[in-house]
Structure 1
Amino acid sequence: MVQFDSALLYLALSALFSGVFIYKLIKNKVKIENASVCSLLSLFMLGIVCLYVVSGRFGLTLFIGACVLYYISIPVRQMLSTQGKAVLITGCDSGLGHALAKHLDERGVLVFAGVLDKDGPGALELSRVCSSKLSLVQLDVTNSSEIKTVYDEVKSRVQDAGLWGIVHNAGVLGYVADGELLPISVYKQCMDVNFIGAVEVTKMLMPLLRKSKGRLVTISSMAGHTPIPGFAPYAASKAALSMFSAVMRQDLLKWGVKVAAIHPSGFKTNIFGSQEHWSSQDQNILDNIMPEVKDDYGEDYLATLKDLHHQMFTFSSSDLSPVLEDVCHALLSTNPYSSYTPGTCAYLIPCLFRYFPLWVYDNFAKLTFHIHRNILPRSLRISQTHSKAD
């Protein structure tokens, strides 16, 4: 009877604390990945141990104390003023960078919007709809001279205040296909834009960032820490970018600069390119692939590659607000997180890869990412046919 009463007491306390936890999470817009799920599970296990092993007043006191400590550890949403803060964003011609430039400009941030073409439609739209504070800067992240010019322009504008934030958004996807089929030029382009470009921009503008003790934010990808079939060049470059961000977070602690990486899932941006671009890349593969490789895979298998553009675009979200909110939190929160995972399953899919057997994730990836689910390369089909015949 005493054990039953104790169980009811622990159950009531757990329900009470759960309600308080949930209220604080919702109020501060704390996502599950930033609420220390492991600590929450540990708290649940501690409750069981305190009930059945420790018992008595000491066990109850220990459980209540642990709940209080966990509640205190939940992040509180406190945002800094945007007054006097300047942020450089790369890749603002379209997509996420374009939307982010508008969003930060509306909040009063001095935005340096890096664009590939200052006379292009994206740049002209930013000039038309944003405030006079926004500065368009010509910035190809693979062009060292343009990076140096941007540094000089930003330095003359911000002067002693320094640059509050850098957002590495510029990126390319290239093409989606088996890693063996993709030309080396796609690998080089992804590394040059997605990784080397971000490193060079960081190195050039870091003195201005250290002066303000500001924020370094990188837009990586869920593919940067989770293998996705067909994404070898893109995933490799984003993995390098994610690790660069992680190491820079450690290196810059002593300077007071905070570093965050954003790992979104699929969103509809121009990173997918146009259908015409996709078709030209498809033809590029067919023109340059070695004859024996082409024979092994088969033209019918290769022909399915062109359908992937439509499939990825269809299954991606057009609502960019989750990414915009996370970037703003990384830039302006008093206590930003080191990692953000906006988008559908952007947190759960990496967990599936890390904590489950590989065969579980491999089958999940095959079904989820729609990469050649229904067709095998030609030589494998022939081999299977012979095996069945025997």
Structure 2
Amino acid sequence: MGELFSLPDVISVMDMSWQRSCALATSSFSLVVQDVKSNGAISLKNLDNQTGRLHVIQMDVSNQEEVNNALQYVKKHLPENGLWGIVNNADESSCPGFLEWSPIENYEKTMAVNLFGAIRVTNSFLPLIRKSQGRIVNVSSLLSRAPSPFNGPYAIAKSAIDSYSAILRAEMKRFNVQVVVVDPGSLAEGANFNSAKREFTRTIRRTWDLLDDGLRLDYGQTYVEKQIEIGQMSMELAETDIGSVVEAMVKAVSQLHPKDRYFVASLAEKCVAYGMQYLPLWLTDRLLPTMEAQTYLSYLSYLEPFILI
């Protein structure tokens, strides 16, 4: 890790597992958590008795009134050295499925949290960040680099976060405020992993059952089952070290000279992302949506020697 310096307080707008919440909490940061009833928030409240530095409050990023209340709370409790940074990590995933399957409400719900929520929080707290010449950290996704079928609304929202971050970075340079993006891949979290795989499959099939006969006829059961197989296999290739994502967030906030972007994913996911970025579109368009699971693995094996970690 590079050179660190003494930090004022940091706000982390979270919707994450309690493991990552607690890991950040032990890094001497003050935290604001979105959902006070979540496992992460409850764990942080327990840690508050030990550290005395944690502030767990309700803040729905899609609700301007709650964001305003959080801002007033933060102003009231800030020490003299002020607010150093924001980590925008609130996250909303719509039901997986093809774009045509997703009602417009899925897009709106996903954008309300992943994009507009980050913008709402950033705009509200930006005067404090400008004053301290601090940091804004926006959490994007592997899917912003490698958008894939079945994850459309989420990938669209995270791609928008990338553009927002790039523009904000340019606009904040004159104020010496740094904007950093963290791109996590999929995260496999122990016992929750198998449950997530089962829920993924159940959700797809429930959605399939709700489609009208015309859509089911056009897409076909065989193609849908193939996408489920690829989705489950992609989950098998997920990064298992959740701590690496936490470490990237901490570096983004605390290093004297942070990277503009931290890409935290498994080697296999990096192969997919770089392949989709740099291989010709005619090849990826032909390959990825139609391949069998074994072909997908062969594709990753072919790309692996070219990936520099």
User: CA contact under 8 A between 2:140 and 2:162: conserved in structure 1?
Assistant: yes
For residues 126 and 113 of structure 2, the distance between their equivalents in structure 1, rounded to whole angstroms, comes to 18
Structure 2 residue aligned with 1:121: 39
- Matched letter for residue 5 of structure 2: L
Q: Pick from 335, 345, 362: which aligns with 2:257?
A: 335
Of 31, 42, 48, which residue of structure 2 is paired with 1:112? Answer: 31
Amino acid at match of 1:356: L
The whole-number CA distance in structure 2 between the counterparts of 1:263 and 1:211 is: 27
TM-score, normalised with respect to structure 1: 0.66
* Offset, 1:316: 1.7
Hey, what's the Cα distance between the residues in 2 that align with 1:337 and 1:220? 15
Which residue identity lines up with residue 221 of structure 1 in the other structure? S
Contact 2:25 2:44 in 1 (8 A): no
Matched, 1:297 2:215: no
For structure 1, the residue ranges without an aligned partner over 5 or more in a row are 1-27, 29-76, 374-390
Q: Report the CA distance between 1:304 and its aligned residue.
A: 6.0
Shift of 1:114: 1.4
Compare relative contact order (CA 8 Å, sep 6+) and give the higher one, 1 or 2.
Answer: 2
The answer for the alignment partner of 1:365 in structure 2 is 288
SS in 1 for 2:136: strand
Q: Which of 47, 69, 84 pairs up with 1:164?
A: 84
Residue matched to 2:129: 209
Q: Percent identity?
A: 25
In 2, Cα distance between equivalents of 1:185 and 1:304 = 26
Residue 78 (structure 1) aligned with residue 25 (structure 2): no
Question: In the alignment, which of 356, 369, 390 is matched to residue 279 of structure 2?
Answer: 356
Deviation at 1:214, TM superposition (A): 0.8
Match of 1:88 among 4, 11, 16: 11
Number of residues of Structure 1 aligned to a counterpart in Structure 2: 290
- Specify the code of the residue in structure 2 equivalent to 1:355: Y
Q: CA RMSD in A?
A: 3.0
Distance 1:273 1:147 in 2: 30
Question: How does the TM-score come out when normalised to structure 2?
Answer: 0.82
Taking the aligned partners of 1:284 and 1:361, their CA distance within structure 2 comes to 27
Q: Is residue 148 from structure 1 mapped to residue 63 from structure 2 by the alignment? A: no
Task: Give 1:326's aligned residue.
Answer: 248
The structure-2 alpha-carbon separation of the partners of 1:347 and 1:234, relative to structure 1 and needing over 3 Å to count, comes to same
CA offset digits 1:274-332 (Å, max 9, x no partner): 84586356424532x34321221234544666667654443322211221121111101
Deviations 1:74-116 (A, max 9, x none): xxx212224xx21111224x32xx444323332222x223132
Matched residue type, 1:358: L
Which whole-Å CA distance do the structure 2 matches of 1:182 and 1:359 have between them? 26
Q: CA deviation at 1:248?
A: 0.5
Letter in 2 for 1:143: N
The one-letter amino acid paired with 1:193 is V
